[in-house]
């Protein structure tokens, strides 16, 4: 399936989430996503779950309390209503489904292909003067640069560990600041050497 079709299907899926407010339908969607996830390698799914869990917890709690409706639980100043519980579940599942959709999309299609697909979908905007091509060229270059940046910062960090004095948090922060400063100065002076080094190791 072309990446453009996958992106359009994902957008339609997101729109449908904001139209449907039925928990039964959300339960069936959850089962469907669970089945699809079984066929995706774990390495594509394991990243970012600490932040995702925090986000889902915050979304659930922030929509659970102090909602108008029939009270089903109360303790002190806190109370939970049937409507509040329903809204909390729907909004939390909505966020979960959108995140799961992105993970399935990126697991099944390379990021660079997705970026190029979005560029092709938005290319008609070039006719009214929107610099779509230039923007996505920079986006692709930035994405391809991330492994280079990561490898070089890690190399500088390993070298600095050999001469690091002290192990308290202040020294670690100071050391990290020096590493980042040196990296940015060197990358501005001669950015091509980082890419040559990276390409030579591939």
Domain contains 114 = no
The whole-angstrom separation of Cα 93 and Cα 97 is: 6
Domain contains 36 = yes
Domain co-membership, 101 together with 134: no
Domain co-membership, 66 together with 157: no
How far CA 10 is from CA of 5, 83, 98, 111, in Å, comes to 9, 28, 9, 15
Domain contains 117 = no
What's the confidence (pLDDT) of residue 98?
92
Domain co-membership, 93 together with 10: yes
The whole-angstrom separation of Cα 8 and Cα 158 is: 44
What's the confidence (pLDDT) of residue 30?
92
Domain co-membership, 96 together with 20: yes
Phi then psi for residue 21, to 5 deg, are: -130, 35
The answer to whether the pTM exceeds 0.75 is no
Tens of pLDDT along 27-37? 999 999 989 88
Domain co-membership, 12 together with 99: yes
Domain co-membership, 148 together with 68: no
Q: Are 91 and 57 in contact (CB under 8 A)?
A: no
Question: Which stretch of 54-58, 61-65, 92-96, 137-141 has the lowest confidence by average pLDDT?
Answer: 137-141
Domain contains 44 = yes
Q: Which residues, at least 6 apart from 129, have a Cβ–Cβ distance to it below 8 Å?
A: none
Chain centre to alpha carbon of residue 114: 14
Domain contains 120 = no
What is the pLDDT averaged over residues 164-184?
70
Q: How many domains is the chain partitioned into structurally?
A: 2
Domain range for 77: 3-109
Domain co-membership, 105 together with 142: no
Domain co-membership, 91 together with 35: yes
Domain contains 122 = no
Report which of 148, 146, 125 is spatially closest to residue 135, judged by C-alpha positions.
Answer: 125
What's the confidence (pLDDT) of residue 189?
65
Domain contains 124 = no
Domain co-membership, 27 together with 102: yes
Tens of pLDDT along 69-82? 888 888 878 888 88
Domain co-membership, 96 together with 164: no
Domain co-membership, 44 together with 85: yes
The whole-angstrom separation of Cα 79 and Cα 73 is: 6
Domain contains 79 = yes
The whole-angstrom separation of Cα 47 and Cα 102 is: 12
């Amino acid at each position: 399936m072309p990446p453009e079709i996958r992106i359009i299907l994902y957008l339609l899926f997101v729109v449908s989430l904001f139209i449907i407010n039925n928990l039964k339908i959300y339960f069936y969607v959850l089962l469907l996503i669970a089945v699809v996830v079984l066929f995706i390698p774990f390495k594509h799914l394991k990243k970012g779950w600490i932040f995702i869990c925090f986000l889902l917890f915050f979304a659930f709690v922030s929509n659970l309390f102090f909602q108008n409706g029939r009270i089903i639980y109360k303790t002190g100043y806190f109370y939970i209503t049937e409507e509040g519980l329903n809204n909390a579940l729907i909004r939390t599942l909505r966020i979960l489904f959108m995140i799961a959709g992105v993970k399935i999309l990126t697991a099944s299609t390379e990021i660079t292909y997705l970026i190029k697909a979005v560029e092709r979908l938005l290319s008609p905007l070039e006719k009214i003067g929107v610099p779509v091509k230039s923007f996505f060229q920079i986006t692709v270059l930035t994405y391809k640069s991330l492994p280079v940046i990561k490898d070089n910062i890690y190399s500088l960090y390993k070298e600095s560990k050999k001469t690091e004095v002290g192990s308290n948090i202040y020294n670690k922060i100071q050391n990290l600041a020096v590493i980042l400063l040196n990296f940015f100065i060197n990358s501005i002076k001669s950015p091509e050497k980082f890419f040559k080094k990276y390409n030579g190791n591939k």
